[in-house]
Amino acid sequence: MTLARAEIVVDLAAIRHNVTTLAERVAPALMMTVVKADGYGHGMVEVARAAREAGAPWLGVATPDEALALRAAGDVGRLLCWLSLPGEAVAPLLEADVDVTAYDVVELAAVVDAARATGRTARLQLKVDTGLHRGGSTVADWPALVAAARAAEVDGLVRVTGVWSHFAAAEDPDHPANDAQEQVFRAALAAAEEAGLAPEVRHLANSAAALLRSSARFDLVRCGIASYGIDPAPDVPDGPDATPEGPKPGLVPAMTVQAPLVLVKALAPGDGVSYGHTWTADRATTVGLVPLGYGDGVPRHAAAGVGSDAAAEVLVDGRRRPVRGRVCMDQLMVDLDGDTPPAGTAAVLFGPGGQGEPTALDWARACGTIDYEIVTRVGARPRRRYVDGAAPVASVVASGATTGATSASTVGGPA
Ligand SMILES: *Cc1c(COP(=O)(O)O)cnc(C)c1O
């Protein structure tokens, strides 16, 4: 058995389960699975493939590079891209059959130029800013943008396939911005139709809105975080009224982050741990070295006193162990409270949560951030390993320690 280094285990069956579950929940609206930022740290190409297998008709990415990488990996389905840079080449996207987005007449002109240069009719989507005040056309500029897009359509250079926008606070269903944004969106749609546009897909909802706001589903919803099994609205309590359709859907977190303990050692009272000795043993105890650090995307805020009062925890040998002392670039220490599990014992930072391990949400709360950031940032360095429904939470991930892996069916994954 080879030594498993620190690794991210991604359960593709969980991804497929989540995509299917969400698609059923939002029907007749269609699903776009958002796979930007390397699939929120889960691996863009692998997640995209799993989403397509589960029937996702659309994929969404931020950058042209991401869109072209998906095409290079063989993806041929509908694919929307929404964040080009000024001057960035549009022609390769048209040649790759990607739906592109314009936020203003300058971006529209670049799309029109690329359509002329390639001889292709661009599939174009127009984004209106309904109140997030990030990307998209201002409401003031919207009439000019839809008129220019319609003119390009009449010339055969573009076909406006979509009109869309993005929420600012959908995870808080009582936030007044939700109603306001939906109203502005409806008015923008009416203006687009008056200008002669007949978009195939009108879309506004991210994961939270897809689940919590059925009026905002329109033709298509863009689900990122929920596709990875993470509740987009953790502060909305579950229950019969949690969503318009009842309880929250049973999503399964797809990512587990784990590593073998490298070393276990005894400490005497008063021994300081890690840089700066920000934590000092108040008793005789044992600590374990986990080979993951901020170079792997583990937040330095995971230690108590840095980002929050409570330390993040790691599951070792059936118990949650607090991170102690500063998180270093490549390693962190956990307090084993006198226990002496052998080197090689699995240390599970987070996973689906069904076997006592913390979740990405637990880590987010300890680090003063959101679980989106936890899973995405941790995606960079540790090796990813893909499984298909098998239990990612093992008690042992390295050779040399006792075995006793837990069974595949206990993770709570899709049947
Ligand atoms: C990232 C992103 C999404 C997905 O949001 P989730 O909250 O992860 O579902 C949807 N639309 C746009 C424009 C995005 O940038």
Beta bridge partners of 78: 58
Of 131, 120, 127, 130, whose CA–CA distance to 98 is shortest? 120
Q: 117 φ, ψ to 5°?
A: -65, -35
- pLDDT band of residue 411 (cuts 50, 70, 90) is very low
Active site residue 248: no
Neighbours of 227 (CB within 10 A): 31
Residue 279: half-sphere exposure toward Cβ, Cα within 13 Å: 25
Over its C-alpha atoms, the chain yields an Rg (Å, rounded) of 24
Whether 255-407 and 12-227 are alike in CATH topology: the answer is no
Tokens of 52: 């397509």
Q: What is the pTM of this model?
A: 0.92
Whether 200 and 263 have beta carbons less than 8 Å apart is answered as no
pLDDT digits (tens, 9 = 90+) for 3-14: 468 999 999 999
Element (H, E) at 69: helix 64-72
Predicted confidence (pLDDT) at residue 376 exceeds the cutoff of 90: yes
Looking at the CA of residue 32, tell me the nearest atom of ligand 1: 10
Lowest mean pLDDT among 116-130, 174-188, 256-270, 392-406: 392-406
Mutate to test the pocket of ligand 1, among 18, 40, 103, 166 (most ligand atoms within 8 A of CB): 166
Task: Give the nearest ligand 1 atom to 34 CA.
Answer: 4
Task: Name the DSSP letter for residue 351.
Answer: -
Cα of 222 from ligand 1 centre, angstroms: 6
Catalytic-labelled residue, pool 40, 103, 127, 275: 275
Number of H helices, E strands in the chain: 11, 19
Which listed residue (36, 228, 248, 386) is catalytic?
36
95 vs 414, residue with greater confidence: 95
Helix (H, G, I), strand (E, B) or coil at 222: strand
| Chain centroid, CA 221 distance in Å | 15
**Residue 360 in contact with residue 303, Cβ under 8 Å?**
no
Annotated catalytic, 36? yes
Ligand 1 closest atom vs CA 171 = 7
Over residues 107-119, mean pLDDT: 98
Q: Where are the alpha helices (DSSP H) in 275-346?
A: none
- Smallest CA separation from ligand 1 atom 13, residue: 166
CA atoms of 199 and 164, how far apart (whole Å): 10
Helix (H) or strand (E) holding 107: helix 105-118
Q: What are phi and psi of 400, to 5 degrees?
A: 95, -10
* CATH code 2.40.37.10 for 255-407: yes
CATH number of 12-227: 3.20.20.10
State pLDDT tens for residues 329-341. Answer: 999 999 999 999 9
Q: How far apart are CA 255 and CA 385, in angstroms?
A: 10
Give distance in angstroms: CA of 224 to centre of ligand 1: 5
Q: What pLDDT does residue 399 have? A: 47
Ligand 1: nearest atom to the Cα of 232: 7
Atom of ligand 1 nearest to the CA of 223: 9
From ligand 1's centre to the CA of 371, what distance in Å?
14
Q: Average of pLDDT values for 373-378?
A: 94
Residue 309 is predicted with a pLDDT of 65
Alpha carbon nearest to ligand 1 atom 15, residue: 62
Query: What's the CA-to-centroid distance between 149 and ligand 1, angstroms?
Result: 24
Quote the pLDDT of residue 409.
31
Q: Which atom in ligand 1 lies closest to the alpha carbon of residue 225?
A: 8
Q: Provide mean pLDDT across the span 25-29.
A: 98
Give the tokens for residue 166. Answer: 């993005």
Dist. CA 221 → ligand 1 center (Å)? 9
Q: How confident is the model at residue 306 (pLDDT cuts 50, 70, 90)?
A: low
Q: Residue 189 Cα, ligand 1 centroid: separation in angstroms?
A: 20
Cα separation, 47 vs 43, whole angstroms:
6
Q: What is the pLDDT of residues 205-232, one digit of tens each?
A: 999 999 999 999 999 999 999 999 999 9
d(CA 70, CA 87): 22
pLDDT tens digits for 35-80?
999 999 999 999 999 999 999 999 999 999 999 999 999 999 999 9
Residue in 40, 167, 222 to alter for ligand 1 test, most ligand atoms within 8 A of Cβ? 222
Nearest CA to ligand 1 atom 4: 224
Q: What is the rounded CA–CA span in Å between residue 285 and residue 281?
A: 7
Least reliable range by pLDDT among 110-114, 237-241, 363-367, 404-408: 404-408
Q: Which residues line ligand 1 (CB under 6 A)?
A: 34, 36, 82, 166, 206-207, 222-226, 232
Contacts 24+ apart (CB under 8 A), 188-191: 188/128, 188/130, 188/139, 188/142, 188/163, 189/163, 191/142, 191/143, 191/146
**Tokens 């200008």 sit at which residue?**
195
Distance 378 CA to ligand 1 centre (A): 19
CB count in 10 Å sphere of residue 301: 19
Using DSSP, state whether 178 is helix, strand or coil: helix
Per domain, the residue ranges of the chain are 12-227, 255-407
Mean pLDDT of 262-291: 96
pLDDT of residue 48: 98
Tell me, rounded to whole angstroms, the distance of Cα 174 from its chain centroid: 23
